[in-house]
């Protein structure tokens, strides 16, 4: 199975580059499944149903989010009825939506997406490690699904690495989001799980992690909120993680970063 995971989509420029390139990438890379983190799609904060529908129309199969999932309150009215949109799984019981989704590819393959959020320097949610273990106790790779993908939305590098090592050999992919900067450690771990600490963002890198530079810099210098943070709207880079899995085991055969456009050096799967 051939999978593409696009990192945090930030603002209009991030949406545009994903919508422009995903249809072509699906064809050129012969992709079976496309996953996108969309938590910053709506002007940098949250996502709307209209934006979700545009991603689906472009060929995105499922959307993950993170700590900004509720920034557009309207999404709370539709998320219960939208199985392709996931919120972090370790929110308390009773939170709208779901954090795990099972999807079918065009040729009948089964893809399980698991979406935990970290706790270090983040909101004090339920234990993400225990939450993932509870799912994998009944949903095993090769039995419940042909591929299992984990988007771990977390701040701390150590927490993301720990999740990857804990799940090595039991899921197809563990990839981090939230930091908006792609890490250089994309690889297949020893037991066969594709791993990257942070996929990076789909947005304008002539910015401060996707936000316009002037106000962001002023906040660091003055320590006083000066103006509203606005997403940078210049040329965006699409940052993604390409994974190819073994059809028999569901484990990764290839794990490579993908970068297109904007200010970062281009990188396509070899």
* Domain ranges across the chain: 2-260
Per-residue model confidence as pLDDT tens for the chain (270 residues) = 999 999 999 999 999 999 999 999 999 999 999 999 999 999 999 999 999 999 999 999 999 999 999 999 999 999 999 999 999 999 999 999 999 999 999 999 999 999 999 999 999 999 999 999 999 999 999 999 999 999 999 999 999 999 999 999 999 999 999 999 999 999 999 999 999 999 999 999 999 999 999 999 998 998 777 788 999 999 999 999 999 999 999 999 999 999 999 999 999 998
Supply the pTM of this predicted model.
0.96
Which residues are known to be catalytic?
68
Report yes or no: 28 and 21 within 8 Å, Cβ to Cβ.
Answer: no
Find out if CATH 1.10.10.10 is the number for domain 2-260. Answer: no
Instruction: Give the up-direction half-sphere exposure of residue 205: CA atoms within 13 A in the CB hemisphere.
Output: 18
Cβ neighbour number for residue 15 with a 10 Å cutoff? 25
CA distance 32 to 242: 11
User: Phi first, then psi: what are they for 57, rounded to 5°?
Assistant: -60, -30
Whether the CB-CB separation of 174 and 164 falls below 8 Å is answered with: yes
Q: What's phi and psi for 239, nearest 5 deg? A: -110, 125
Q: Hey, what are 228's tokens?
A: 């509203």
Report the helix count and the strand count for the chain, using DSSP H and E.
5, 13
Q: Is 1 helix (H, G, I), strand (E, B) or coil?
A: coil
């Amino acid at each position: 199975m051939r999978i593409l995971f696009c990192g945090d989509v930030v603002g209009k420029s991030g949406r545009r580059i994903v919508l422009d390139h995903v249809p072509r990438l699906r064809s050129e890379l012969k992709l079976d499944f496309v996953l996108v983190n969309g938590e910053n799609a709506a002007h940098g904060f949250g996502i709307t149903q209209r934006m979700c529908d545009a991603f689906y129309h472009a060929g995105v199969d499922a959307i993950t989010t993170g700590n900004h999932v509720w920034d557009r309150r309207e999404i709370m009215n539709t998320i219960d009825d939208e199985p392709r949109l996931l919120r972090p799984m370790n929110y308390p019981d009773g939170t709208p939506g779901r954090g795990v989704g099972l999807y079918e590819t065009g040729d009948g393959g089964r893809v399980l997406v698991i979406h935990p959020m970290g706790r270090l320097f983040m909101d004090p949610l339920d234990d993400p490690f225990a939450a993932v273990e509870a799912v994998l106790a009944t949903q095993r790779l090769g039995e419940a699904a042909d591929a299992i993908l984990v988007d771990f939305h977390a701040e701390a590098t150590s927490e993301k690495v720990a999740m990857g090592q804990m799940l090595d050999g039991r899921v197809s992919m563990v990839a981090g989001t939230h930091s908006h900067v792609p890490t250089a450690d994309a690889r297949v771990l020893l037991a066969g799980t594709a791993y990257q600490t942070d996929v990076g963002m789909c947005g304008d890198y002539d910015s401060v992690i996707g936000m316009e530079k002037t106000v962001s810099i002023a906040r660091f210098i003055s320590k006083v909120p000066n103006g509203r943070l606005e997403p940078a709207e210049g040329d965006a880079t699409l940052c993604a993680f390409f994974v190819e899995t073994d059809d028999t085991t569901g484990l990764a055969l290839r794990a490579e970063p993908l970068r297109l456009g904007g200010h970062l050096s281009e990188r396509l799967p070899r």
